[in-house]
Amino acid sequence: MIKKLSLLALLVFFIGVIGSVVTYGSMNNKVSINEKKLIENENITSIQIDVDSTDVEFITVRSMDEARVELVGKSVENTINDFSVKEEGETLSISLQPENSKWFNFKLYLPTLKLKIFAPEKMYNNVYVNGSSSDVNWQSLKAKSIEISTVSGDVHAESTHSEKMTVKTVSGDVYMERIQGEIETVTVSGDVFISTSELSHSIYGKTTSGDIDIESVKEPTDIKFEVSTSSGDVNLFDKYNNNAKMGKGDVLIQLKTDSGDITATNK
């Protein structure tokens, strides 16, 4: 009798679980998202972005007539209620926290969203992006300070000029091509690639598990390399396989990986 009651209880439990899943699917239809908000203040000098499970892309435009913010992709119906674009003084603040993130642990549905910022081409004071699970991409971005932080996501930058650029990700690759300025990049699990016309600014690159590659058009003449890898090879311009100093060593390049190779080459 007890065994029959246990089987009955187990059957009721599974029926309840199936019913919950069916109800969730029927009440949360996937819909296309395409929202656009204009940027009207031509005096914006600071861009602050805070998103959750949304990729971020900066696109340079020539004039304010094209300046805007777009949110595109797919999500669950009636969950994008916290998409905010504010212009306060000289700061553009953008935030997005989809309500359906609470379902992530159940792996029933993950939104595929991208935030596109069409920003006028000029020198900004600072650009800041914080994303919990976000790829971040940009080209031809100029800012005195650029700070990118994402828990899980790749960072891809091209043709960027900045006095100081900081990129941190827990799980993701960092790819920087044609970069000018001081760089600090840290990732726990991922590769790091940095290319520049000349190694004239300091670089700090660290990854726990991944390779670090530095590429320079001109052969450096006044830099100091401090490199460290627990499991991997070091090759600096086919001349050095450890710490090295060229010229006075005024420009410091620090590269660290626990498991991976470190290389520096001329393009």
Instruction: Please calculate the CA angle 205-60-215 and round it to the nearest 5 degrees.
Output: 30
Is 110 among the domain residues? yes
* Residues 128, 56 share a domain: yes
**pLDDT tens-digit profile of 106-148?**
444 455 899 999 999 999 999 999 998 899 999 999 999 999 9
* Residues 208, 181 share a domain: yes
CA 6 from centroid of its chain's CA atoms: 50
CA distance 242 to 251: 17
Is 12 among the domain residues? no
Is 145 among the domain residues? no
| Contact in structure between 253 and 225 (CB atoms under 8 Å) | yes
Whether the per-residue pLDDT at 7 is higher than 60: the answer is: no
**pLDDT tens-digit profile of 188-215?**
999 999 999 999 999 999 999 999 999 9
* Residues 109, 54 share a domain: yes
Strand, coil or helix: 61:
strand
102, 137, 172: which is the final residue of a domain? Answer: 137
Q: Residue 15: which H helix or E strand, with range? A: helix 2-27
CA distance 111 to 30: 9
* Residues 55, 161 share a domain: no
- Expressed as residue numbers, the domain containing 113 is 23-137
* Residues 127, 160 share a domain: no
Instruction: Provide the terminal-to-terminal Cα distance of the chain, rounded to the nearest Å.
Output: 79
112, 137, 162: which is the final residue of a domain? Answer: 137
Give the number of domains in the chain: 2
